[in-house]
Chain A
Amino acid sequence: MKTTPDILDQIRAHGADAYPEEGCGFLLGTVTDDGDNRVAALHRATNRRSEQRTRRYELTADDYRAADAAAQEQGLDVVGVYHSHPDHPARPSATDLEEATFPGFTYVIVSVHDGAPEALTAWALAPDRSEFHREDIVRPDPEAP
């Protein structure tokens, strides 16, 4: 995933705001010719889980459509999602794997400990859905629009 420190800080801030619950939202951007997701903006969303929001999150199809509309307005697409792990490490849980959606999205996880954001990681779902692979987080090329 390619993105700026500012975007990463916005994800950390949402994780802190949502603590002790899980915060979540969408990554808006473009897909590079190399197939990398370049994240240019965020679309904050509400954790729709009716219970266990400290350890589960949910984004509905209507949330996706709202994020997609916001992306289109900015000339972008939905290229991934992010969520926080309150008092848990920044790596995909068994539930994250079981309930994962499409390979091709970038899945960002930020760990939040005692209300303070810590590690932030990015992941891609394997095409056979068997596991997540860690994605490098790099700055976009300076000449990119």
Chain B
Amino acid sequence: MPTTDTTTVTLRIPTPLRSATDGQATVEVEAETVDAALRTLVDQHPDLADNLYDEDDELRQFVNIYVGDDDVRFGEGVDTPLEPGDEVSIVPSIAGG
């Protein structure tokens, strides 16, 4: 039987995306993995979808996700499990010519 415990985590939203989150710098969601947290965030704030995901529904290349101080790319990626109280940050990398 699943327990009734929930995993509430805090998502940190970078400045330019806050127009899609009613100005909120942080959003709390209930999610067991990074992927679930991001999908829940996008369900709640659909204008974020095109900024975070590409045409193939993959995270855009410049979108990096940190849990605490750890870049999930060097661990289990979006499958990274979350603990209650984790802080999940959306962090852009930037490049150009």
A-B contact count (CB 8 A): 79
Q: Which residues of B contact A68 (CB under 8 A)?
A: 14, 91
A2 in the interface (beta carbon within 8 A): no
A79 to B95, CA, bound (A): 16
A78 pairs with B96, CB closer than 8 A: no
8 Å CB interface, B1-38 against A: 14-19
Extra pairs beyond A81-B94, A103-B51 (17, CB < 8 Å): A31-B18, A56-B95, A56-B97, A58-B93, A61-B71, A64-B14, A64-B91, A64-B93, A65-B91, A79-B15, A92-B96, A93-B97, A95-B97, A101-B62, A102-B16, A104-B15, A104-B16
On chain A, the residues within 8 Å of B16 by CB distance are: 79, 102-105
Q: Is A136 an interface residue (CB 8 A)?
A: no
A35 touching B19 by the CB < 8 A rule? yes
B94 touches A96 (CB 8 A): no
Q: Say whether, besides A61-B71, A64-B91, A102-B51, A96 and B96 are in contact (CB < 8 Å).
A: yes
Q: 7 interchain pairs (CB within 8 A)?
A: A49-B95, A61-B66, A83-B96, A96-B97, A99-B62, A101-B94, A129-B50
B52 and chain A: residue at smallest CB distance: A102
**Contact of B80 with A by CB under 8 A:** no
Q: Which residues of A contact B96 (CB under 8 A)?
A: 56-57, 83, 92-93, 95-96, 99-100
Question: Looking across the interface, which residue of chain B has its beta carbon closest to that of A58?
Answer: B95
Q: Which residues of B contact A113 (CB under 8 A)?
A: none
Check B64 for interface membership: any CB of A closer than 8 A: yes
| Residue A21 interfacial (CB < 8 Å) | no
With a cutoff of 8 Å between Cβ atoms, the chain A residues found around residue B93 in the complex are 58-61, 63-64, 101
